[in-house]
Amino acid sequence: MRIVYLNPCGKLGGAETSLREVLASIGAAEPDWELWLVLGEDGPLAEIARNLGVHVIVRPFPPALARLGEGGARSTWWPLLRAAGSAGSYSRRLASLLRQIKPDIIHSNGFKMHLLAAWTCPRHTPLVWHIHDYVSSRRLMSGLLRCFGKACTVAVVNSKSVSKDLLAILPYLHVVPVYNAVDLQRFSPAGKRLDLDALAGLPPAPSETVRVGLVATFARWKGHKVFLEAMATVSSEIPIRGYIIGGPIYQTDGSQWSKRELQQEADRLGLGNRLGFTGFLDDLAPALRSLDIVVHASTSPEPFGMVIIEAMACGKAVIASQAGGAAELFDDGENAVAHPAGDAATLAKRISWLASDAKLRRRLGEAGRATAERLYHGKRLATELLAVYNQASQHTHRGLAGVSAQPQVTMPAGTRSRTK
């Protein structure tokens, strides 16, 4: 069996972190399978995948295609036309590459690759779209996915919430929710920690300081401003220090904060040494371990929220926005604590509450780790994806080979699924 994975970005955003676990878990479950990864940009993911035994080919996107995002396309048609032009020549090269590799399955990750894959996928090769984000709010992408949806054999999504959203746009699609996994060895309570103060260029904090971190890319909806406002609201008598961990990693136009904008906001709120920026970190596990409280503050419904399960796996007390797929990942008050998305005042109360109660933090952290061990491990991910691949292969070749018994795909209760 030979699978080609297609991913636009070489840096590690959420969808790439998810893909890393897909590659690792499929590689472990089926060591004889040949896994290939074609990237539209060079970056750390290439090396990570090579170390997992994956054949990696980097075919950089032309700049107009790399920069195109909803933000850029909304303002004018010009970026879209330019991107369409360069996508044409890129897709011809991709098609020729796929003809050489001769995959049994193509698994695309990321919107641009879904479209390019639909365009170039050889006939009779099943195409699995792995959709990590809401589609209905993106007009351009919804329209394009509708045009190309017939080429997709199965769409894997990361939560029930994303499944519902996708089916509203493409009701005929066969959609299978598969929750992401986390590497439970790397993301564990014991291991290397970091000097976050030094990384942020701050003087060492007093020993009783409770460290609170927002770990996210600089996408505008990740709630950096809500976090800053909450940090400024927490009483100065509570010894806390906040850290913004991450950076503006995407190439798309108009979709993310710059460090300068966030620093200005922190200055305006008078946060001073109560807050620091560590910058982007390749390895998040040591950073998470160095925190006492991990905050997830997305202001729009979060499709999944990798950091929530990573922080749970590290045994940390997590405060997460209760919206979208993120709300499916934990039970409020049991293994994490919820706050309404975008509500800085409530977030400040939750931070103050956990910062003042070390026992509660420990209880939440232990329950979080137990949940990660029960639900978010790679074996479960591999079992569910293998069922999807099996289903996709039979589906595409139905006319040739006929469909035998239905494979077992574990679907969370209440999820709709339809056959093309």
Binding site for ligand GLC (CB under 6 A): 13-15, 18, 132-133, 158, 180, 302-306
Query: Minimal distance in Å, beta carbon 400 to ligand GLC?
Result: 33
Distance of alpha carbon 226 from the chain centroid: 20
**Separation of alpha carbons 244 and 314, rounded Å:** 18
The crossing angle, in degrees rounded to 10, of helices 139-148 and 160-169 is 70
Please say which residue, 98 or 311, places its beta carbon nearer to ligand GLC.
311
Instruction: Tell the smallest beta-carbon distance from residue 179 to ligand GLC (Å).
Output: 9
In the complex with ligand GLC, the residue whose CB is nearer, 197 or 384, is 384
In order of 215, 228, 284, 371, the CA distances from 259 in angstroms are 14, 13, 19, 34
> CB–CB of 242/272 below 8 Å?
no
- Residue showing the smallest CB distance to ligand GLC in the complex: 14
Query: Residue 223 or 276: which CB sits closer to ligand GLC?
Result: 223
CB 311 within 8 A of CB 330: no
Distances from the Cα of 409 to the Cα of 18, 125, 387, angstroms: 19, 20, 5
CB of 133 to ligand GLC, least distance (A): 5
Q: Contact at 8 Å (CB) between 329 and 308? A: yes
- CB-wise, 132 or 361, nearer to ligand GLC? 132
Residue 320: C-alpha distances to residues 233, 293, 367 (Å): 18, 11, 15
118 is written with which tokens?
Answer: 């639909």
Of residues 247 and 305, the one with the C-beta less far from ligand GLC: 305
CB of 162 to ligand GLC, least distance (A): 8
Closest CB 142 distance from ligand GLC, rounded Å:
16
170-173 contacts at long range (C-beta below 8 A, 24 or more positions apart): 170/145, 170/146, 171/418, 172/418, 172/420, 173/149, 173/418, 173/420
CA distances from 15 to 18, 108, 196, 347, 401 (A): 5, 11, 25, 26, 34
Give yes or no for a contact between 146 and 123, defined as CB atoms under 8 angstroms apart: no
Instruction: Select 321 or 335, whichever has its Cβ closest to ligand GLC.
Output: 321
In Å, how far are 186, 218, 243, 256 from 246, measured between CA atoms? Answer: 19, 7, 10, 12
How near is the Cβ of 217 to ligand GLC at its closest, in Å?
8
Q: What's the min distance (Å) between Cβ of 273 and ligand GLC?
A: 31
Q: How far apart are CA 353 and CA 261, in angstroms?
A: 29
Answer for the pair 158, 132: CB distance below 8 angstroms, yes or no.
Answer: yes
Cβ 358 to ligand GLC shortest distance, Å: 29
Residue 304 CB, nearest approach to ligand GLC (Å) = 3
Q: Which CB, 298 or 394, lies closer to ligand GLC?
A: 298
State which residue, 9 or 230, has the beta carbon closest to ligand GLC.
Answer: 9
Among residues 19 and 83, whose Cβ is nearest to ligand GLC? Answer: 19
